[in-house]
Structure 1
Amino acid sequence: MTGLPYFPTDRRTLLRSSMLLGAGAALLPGAGFAQSDARAAIRAAAAANTAADIKRIQDWIALPTIAAENRNVPEGAAYMEELARAAGFTGVRQVPTDGVPGVVGFMDNGARQTLGIYFMYDVKQFDPAEWSSPPLEARIVDKPDWGKAIMGRGAVNQKGPEATFLAALHAMKAAGVTPPVNIALICEGEEEIGSPHFRQIAETPDVLAALKKCSGIFIPASWQGPTGAVNVNLGSKGVVELELVASGEKWGRGPKGDIHSSQKAAVDSPVWRLVHALNTLVTPDGNTVAIDGWFENVRPLTEREKELVRQAAAAGNEELTKASLGITHWIDDLSFEDAMIRLAGQPTVNIEGLVAGYTGPGGKTVLPGRGVAKLDLRLVPNQTRDEAVRKLRAHLDAQGFPDVEVNVSGGYDPTETAEDSALIRAELAAYAALGVEARLNPRLAGSWPGATFTAPPVSIPAGHFGLGHGSGAHAPDEYYVVESTNPKVAGITDATMGYVEIMYQLAALA
């Protein structure tokens, strides 16, 4: 599921962020809800539960599970179990993996349709010194143009939206209303490191059986911009996260550890070797992948997909989008429309970080014995994670870098969901009932492990759904709006009712 004012830029949300400005919406309290049915009672219960719903988010933020640091792993899984049980799920348990455990729960409401819900209970690392408010205190702050918001690590990515989905179940329980769908809940604690063991959870026999009954599955999201409009994503790019490591020890040249930099005149540098290896992965401008065979399985965007991108770009605000990203030009000086088409359709190799030698204040004259480049590879249909890693390794070998290590930490394939699937139809119907403008988006440039659901053996539609607003995922000062001052953007009660609405819309599908 990162800090721009209203443009999340984490690996799940970048395309959406650049295409919605200018679209109009009218989110009104209770909009789309027939006052004679159960929704009115549910809304009253949701409003009464507001303080408890906000505290639920704050308490969850106070207990961060950070897989990359092995922080609070047992505690995080146990807390996820507590949240699921309190919301009414049965059969709640931890599912062990070769890494961090998952959590599953089920709700059999005797309904005809079953809805799958995906949660991640882990969050990104943080440096408290970079925050204006302590990242684990989840204080309520004023966000100009948005309203009151919870600020803390995980506020919008993804604990705020997920806890708001749970708030919908609490409101239905308080109103004495049985949800109109059955629900299968599947949670993981490793999404922020690329979900390396998530398939082990999803393919556990009883979990797999429950998932296969679902008409679709979504991750709760809060992606409304200032106009209130939302995107309905028909897919997401895949991702591979990895490190390339060059060392004197593996190379057989250069030092095994750091030595005095004066020795460079006589000794090879593993860090320069890493730089040269990186240069072979892309064209000289860094903009196009040059790994051997990289594009042979890439499925180009269809004309329908390109048209959807063009429509969104035409309705957008290019200058405001550039400002939100802190840029003045698109890649290769492309037009806004062409840049957005490229964003949806192009696979990438990105350097997340470079680490070697001394990086503290001042200088330290060393010749490092080891250099590390942290990369992410974004994949489009019909690429796969395994193919990408295999081709990267073969390319480095062919270019004369067999000693450069490729250490994969996680990742997953791209995902695609049919426009006429039950999940997408229910999402569009729910947004329409709420008076929210929704625009079909062919592919999210960010990534999430939806391929676990869309590919065999699960093979169900998967996507994102939700109202509300937040930003700053992966960045300092992450926040989630709970009391909106923008009438077109949902606060926590309206966002809660959004999850109620999609349940009723899915239940009504033939």
Structure 2
Amino acid sequence: MTRSRAFLNLAVMLAAGVAAVPAWAAPGDPGRDKVVAAIHANHDATVERLRDWIKLPTIANMNINHREGAEYMRKLALDAGFQQARVVDSGGVPGVFATLDAGAKQTVAVYFMYDVKHYEPSEWTSPPLEGRIVDRPGEGKVMIGRGAVNQKGPETAFLAALHAFKAAGVKLPVNLVLVAEGEEEIGSPNFHNVVTQPDVRAALEKSVGVFIPSPNQAIDGNVSLLLGAKGVIEVQLVSSGEKWGRGPNKDIHSSLKANVDSPVWHLIKALNTLVAEDGQTPAIDGWFENVKPLTARQKELIAADVAASNEADDMKSLGIKHWYKNEDYLTASYRLASQPTVNIEGLVSGYTGPGGKTVLPGKAEAKLDLRLVPDMTKEEAVSKLKAHLAKRGFGDIEVIVSGGYSPTQTNENSALIKAEQATLAAAKIPMTMSARSAGSWPGVVFTGPPLNMAAGQFGAGRGGGAHAPDEWLLIDSTNPKTAGFDDQAVLYADFLYEVARAGR
């Protein structure tokens, strides 16, 4: 960090009435002060590292940079101090496995995803692969770029902590295992083939748990620790005259609709059977058969999370004015955590350009995602979807599963979660615990058999726009309650010290 930058940072904090050293710079672990100093000194290099990573997007569903992304991930791991890192064939987009042996008593695993969602540059205010730094009112300076928050930004913050240990000549307090994949954005269809390889599994089994770096801080500074996440299945339903045996096998003139069946209406009729009349409640046969109700403790955690949240801010960020059925915030939050869903992501058929075109399409496709809660499984859900359609005369509709996994859950008393709590408490960062995220990540690969590990998401800092235009990550915070990029890295360093302390 240059002298002018250090002076500017100090001036900004003093002007805001904030101590020059953030609250989370308190613990006195061996070598920590040197590590924190190195994090700040390396700020510009860390920002540039994230910017360079953003420039190389791996997009699984478009076959973009599969091998290049894996090799780049491998290089990032080696540069951060992992002694060995290799690309692992998965049967799809490759994964990466790396280990760092610090000779410590305790080992913790970290999960990375190096793939991103696709993007439409015309929808962005700055180029999505540029990594431009811009002002965000009320927040500070943020980086705009695809992958900035999901998930390259927080992962780069974790790597920054490792670089700082190395630069400061301070030994890591724990051993590390890294597993990374390039298919998370399409439902991790092959990631299990990475973690079940003998050497990968053996390394993971030595760990107290696995976490994914995540900027989970609200604008008021609160961090919500996730104890679980819904599962997800991404699926395409395809109706065609060719498979149906009715309707055209290609687009024909719409005047023929009077005496020719429509594959598009066939698909719409099928879709309509998947939900009840409210357009919300799943109606697939047996869909709720294995849905496990929320426990009293989970309801307690959700209520505490709601009490610490701002309903108006949540609605504003979502662009909504009402929850489903006009439910109150707490009831809607219970529903969010407990209910499986059937969602239409997109419908594609026929002509979609300017004006009209009088065709009767020969094919129609719907893209769906199905969110699952314990004790549902991916395999069960797919089987029930197919059986439901077949029973109603829609067995000709192709069900193409592009990816997905079952839900995940971790005990709040696990050593991993306790270390996360202790780290935030020492940093004086307010926290709640979330019983279950409505979003999904492939944590079940770790929490399910054969590994049966604790797994969660952890971190501070802020970001937004995942999967959307102008995705952003907070770099320099002007809000004393939220962590900037450097402070995110400091928190990860403290977390490693906390995991080590748990094993003493």
Is 1:416 the counterpart of 2:409? The answer is: yes
State whether residues 26 and 436 of structure 1, in contact with CA within 8 Å, keep that contact through their aligned partners in structure 2.
no
User: Partners of 2:463 and 2:83 in 1: how far apart?
Assistant: 30
Is 1:137 the counterpart of 2:101? The answer is: no
Matched AA of 1:200: N
Q: 1:290-439 maps to which residues of 2 (within 5 A)? A: 290-439=283-432
State whether residues 23 and 428 of structure 2, in contact with CA within 8 Å, keep that contact through their aligned partners in structure 1.
no
User: Partners of 2:104 and 2:136 in 1: how far apart?
Assistant: 41
- Structure 2: gaps (5+ residues): 1-17
User: Partners of 1:32 and 1:81 in 2: how far apart?
Assistant: 31
**In the TM superposition, what whole-angstrom CA distance separates every residue of 1:382-424 from its partner, at most 9, and x where no partner exists?**
0000000000000001111110110000000100000100110
Tell me which residue corresponds to 1:90.
83
SS at match of 1:157: coil
Tell me which residue corresponds to 2:252.
259
User: C-alpha displacement at 1:323, in angstroms?
Assistant: 1.3
User: Partners of 1:26 and 1:217 in 2: how far apart?
Assistant: 33
Matched AA of 1:347: P
- Calculate the TM-score normalised by the size of structure 2: 0.95
- Calculate the TM-score normalised by the size of structure 1: 0.94
User: C-alpha displacement at 1:319, in angstroms?
Assistant: 1.8
2:142 aligned to which of 139, 149, 154: 149
State whether residues 24 and 429 of structure 2, in contact with CA within 8 Å, keep that contact through their aligned partners in structure 1.
no
Tell me which residue corresponds to 1:465.
458
2:189 aligned to which of 190, 196, 216: 196
Instruction: Decide which moves more: 290-299 or 307-316.
Output: 307-316
Tell me which residue corresponds to 2:475.
482
User: Partners of 2:217 and 2:354 in 1: how far apart?
Assistant: 41
User: Partners of 1:397 and 1:41 in 2: how far apart?
Assistant: 64
User: C-alpha displacement at 1:206, in angstroms?
Assistant: 0.1
User: C-alpha displacement at 1:178, in angstroms?
Assistant: 1.0
Tell me which residue corresponds to 1:177.
170
User: Partners of 1:31 and 1:219 in 2: how far apart?
Assistant: 20
User: C-alpha displacement at 1:149, in angstroms?
Assistant: 1.2
User: Partners of 2:21 and 2:273 in 1: how far apart?
Assistant: 54
**In the TM superposition, what whole-angstrom CA distance separates every residue of 1:2-40 from its partner, at most 9, and x where no partner exists?**
xxxxxxxxxxxxxxxxxxxxxxx9996253523574211
User: Partners of 1:493 and 1:121 in 2: how far apart?
Assistant: 21
SS at match of 1:74: helix
Is 1:243 the counterpart of 2:228? The answer is: no
State whether residues 34 and 40 of structure 1, in contact with CA within 8 Å, keep that contact through their aligned partners in structure 2.
no
SS at match of 1:477: coil
State whether residues 88 and 194 of structure 2, in contact with CA within 8 Å, keep that contact through their aligned partners in structure 1.
yes
Tell me which residue corresponds to 1:219.
212
**In the TM superposition, what whole-angstrom CA distance separates every residue of 1:90-118 from its partner, at most 9, and x where no partner exists?**
22110002111101100111111111000
User: Partners of 1:268 and 1:258 in 2: how far apart?
Assistant: 12
State whether residues 26 and 488 of structure 1, in contact with CA within 8 Å, keep that contact through their aligned partners in structure 2.
no
**In the TM superposition, what whole-angstrom CA distance separates every residue of 1:41-61 from its partner, at most 9, and x where no partner exists?**
111111100000000000000
**In the TM superposition, what whole-angstrom CA distance separates every residue of 1:214-264 from its partner, at most 9, and x where no partner exists?**
101010001212111111111000000010011100100000011111111
Is 1:186 the counterpart of 2:179? The answer is: yes
SS at match of 1:255: coil
User: C-alpha displacement at 1:328, in angstroms?
Assistant: 1.0
**In the TM superposition, what whole-angstrom CA distance separates every residue of 1:107-141 from its partner, at most 9, and x where no partner exists?**
11111111100000000000000000000111111
SS at match of 2:150: helix
**In the TM superposition, what whole-angstrom CA distance separates every residue of 1:417-457 from its partner, at most 9, and x where no partner exists?**
00100110000000001110110110001000000000111
Matched AA of 1:176: G
User: C-alpha displacement at 1:183, in angstroms?
Assistant: 0.3
Tell me which residue corresponds to 1:19.
none
User: Partners of 1:439 and 1:241 in 2: how far apart?
Assistant: 30
Is 1:62 the counterpart of 2:55? The answer is: yes
Is 1:81 the counterpart of 2:105? The answer is: no
Give the fraction of aligned pairs with identical amino acids, expressed as a percent. 58
Matched AA of 1:422: A
Tell me which residue corresponds to 2:36.
43
Tell me which residue corresponds to 2:494.
501
Tell me which residue corresponds to 1:7.
none
User: Partners of 1:114 and 1:447 in 2: how far apart?
Assistant: 25
User: Partners of 1:270 and 1:390 in 2: how far apart?
Assistant: 23
Matched AA of 1:341: Y
Matched AA of 1:188: E
The alignment covers a number of residue pairs equal to 486
- Structure 1: gaps (5+ residues): 1-24
User: Partners of 1:298 and 1:219 in 2: how far apart?
Assistant: 26
State whether residues 90 and 106 of structure 1, in contact with CA within 8 Å, keep that contact through their aligned partners in structure 2.
yes
User: Partners of 1:26 and 1:343 in 2: how far apart?
Assistant: 39
User: Partners of 1:234 and 1:34 in 2: how far apart?
Assistant: 26
SS at match of 1:349: strand
**Alpha carbons of structure 1 residues 314 and 28: separation in structure 2 relative to 1, 3 Å:** farther
User: Partners of 2:19 and 2:91 in 1: how far apart?
Assistant: 47
User: C-alpha displacement at 1:318, in angstroms?
Assistant: 1.5
Matched AA of 1:276: K
User: Partners of 1:340 and 1:36 in 2: how far apart?
Assistant: 39
User: Partners of 1:105 and 1:240 in 2: how far apart?
Assistant: 28
**In the TM superposition, what whole-angstrom CA distance separates every residue of 1:434-492 from its partner, at most 9, and x where no partner exists?**
11011011000100000000011111100000111111110000011111111111111
SS at match of 1:118: strand
